């Protein structure tokens, strides 16, 4: 399975502003002044190899949307945040025939559905969009956000065939060759994590959940759900200090809890996701590196847990 991140921010889309870009350029130019760069190739090499990630890259600002791709199969989309607009634009640019899209929804909060009115394939006759989820009101939520006066194009004007398919948490389903199981999480309005299995590999999508690790039974249940996963995409919106203080009971988790749950589960790769919109690239990089250090000092005799931080445009194989 090829995993492509189209949107990785939580709550609301954000953009790198002029001041943030200016600060990155100043730091890059100061570091570059220490050596001559005589060509574009040397400049690119300097950017990739010598600049800190928070200077040379950006985590991006689109809200949650992930594509799981397999050769010869319909794309599987996890959530319909603003990132799905870019996915749709790519497909429209290369479309040569009607396509089917399978969508799995974690929940119906605005940041996870707001991209659908801008998903261009939904306006193309012949396309088929199948939307799966454990919530009974997903169709109502998507129709409501396109109703007047909120949006100029009503849902019924969409030309694609759109189908809504309910799932039961704890039950295993086959969605175009991928085994999918949902699990209820602690989040306002209820959110669901999903375990996706194909070809002997397991991918966990567990966004928008507050894991406190205070109840051993709850922790053990999620560890069992994450068990031996090859990749866990995890809501690490906050640092631990924030998650247990000013943002307690806000429905989101931390980098530290992500490491602890994945270690308990024997997972192989933790991907930090649903980044706080108020954090700049440097703050997200610190949270990522803190998680890496925590994994190293608490690993013990366990196999190493790889820790990454998702950014818009990141692609990885499971």
Q: What is the pLDDT of residues 164-209, one digit of tens each?
A: 999 999 999 999 999 999 999 978 778 999 999 999 999 999 998 8
The percentage of residues in the chain with a pLDDT greater than 70, rounded to a whole number, is 96
CA 45 to chain centre: 29
Q: Is 76 helix (H, G, I), strand (E, B) or coil?
A: strand
Question: Domain-by-domain residue ranges, the chain?
Answer: 2-15+58-317, 18-55
Nearest residue to 291 (alpha-carbon basis) of 253, 246, 255: 255
> Which residues, at least 6 apart from 318, have a Cβ–Cβ distance to it below 8 Å?
1, 2, 3, 201, 202, 203, 230, 231
CATH 3.40.50.300 fits 2-15+58-317, yes or no: no
Preceding amide of 149 cis, omega within 30? yes
Give exposure, 240-265, as e/b (b: 16+ Cβ within 10 Å). bebbeeebeeebbbbbbbbbbbbbbb
DSSP code of residue 237: -
DSSP 211-233: ----SHHHHHHHHHHHTT-SEEE
Where do we find the tokens 């974690």? 106
Query: Residue 229: how many CB atoms within 10 A of its CB?
Result: 24
Q: What is the pLDDT of residues 210-243, one digit of tens each?
A: 877 677 788 889 899 999 999 999 999 876 556 4
Helices (H), 120-254: 138-145, 216-226, 240-243
- Closest Cα to residue 53, out of 83, 19, 28, 17? 28
67-119: pLDDT as tens digits: 999 988 999 999 999 999 999 999 999 877 899 999 999 999 999 999 999 99
SS3 (DSSP) at 317: strand
- C-beta of residue 133 within 8 angstroms of C-beta of residue 180: no
pTM: 0.93
Mean pLDDT of the chain: 92
Question: What is the structure's pLDDT at 154?
Answer: 96
Phi-psi region for residue 51, left (φ > 0), alpha (ψ -120 to 50) or beta?
beta
Beta bridge mates, 100: 128
């Amino acid at each position: 399975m090829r995993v492509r991140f189209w949107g990785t921010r939580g709550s609301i889309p954000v953009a790198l502003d002029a001041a943030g870009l200016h600060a990155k350029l100043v730091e890059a130019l100061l570091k570059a002044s220490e050596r001559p760069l005589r060509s574009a190739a040397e400049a690119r090499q300097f950017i990739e190899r010598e600049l800190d990630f928070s200077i040379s890259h950006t985590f991006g600002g689109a809200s949650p949307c992930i594509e799981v791709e397999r050769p010869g199969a319909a794309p599987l989309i996890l959530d319909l945040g603003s990132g799905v607009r870019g996915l749709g634009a790519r497909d429209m640019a290369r479309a040569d025939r009607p396509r089917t899209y399978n969508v799995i929804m974690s929940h119906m909060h605005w940041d996870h559905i707001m991209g659908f009115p801008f998903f261009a394939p939904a306006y193309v006759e012949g396309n088929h969009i199948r939307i799966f989820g454990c919530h009974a009101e997903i169709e109502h939520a998507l129709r409501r956000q396109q109703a007047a006066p909120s949006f100029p194009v009503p849902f019924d004007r969409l030309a694609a065939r759109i189908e809504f398919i309910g799932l039961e948490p704890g039950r295993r389903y086959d969605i175009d060759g991928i085994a999918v199981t949902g699990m209820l999480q602690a989040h306002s309005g209820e959110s669901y994590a999903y375990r996706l299995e194909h070809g002997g590999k397991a991918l966990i999508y567990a966004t928008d959940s507050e894991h406190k690790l205070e109840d051993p039974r709850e922790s053990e249940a999620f560890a069992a759900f994450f068990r031996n996963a090859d990749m866990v995409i995890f809501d690490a919106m906050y640092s631990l200090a924030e998650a247990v203080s000013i943002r307690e009971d806000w429905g989101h988790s931390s980098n530290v809890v992500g490491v602890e749950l994945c270690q308990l589960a024997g997972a192989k790769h933790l991907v930090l996701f649903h980044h706080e919109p108020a954090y700049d690239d440097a703050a997200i990089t610190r949270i990522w590196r803190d998680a890496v250090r925590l994994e190293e000092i608490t690993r013990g005799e366990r196999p190493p847990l790889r820790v990454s931080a998702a950014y818009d445009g990141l692609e990885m194989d499971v």
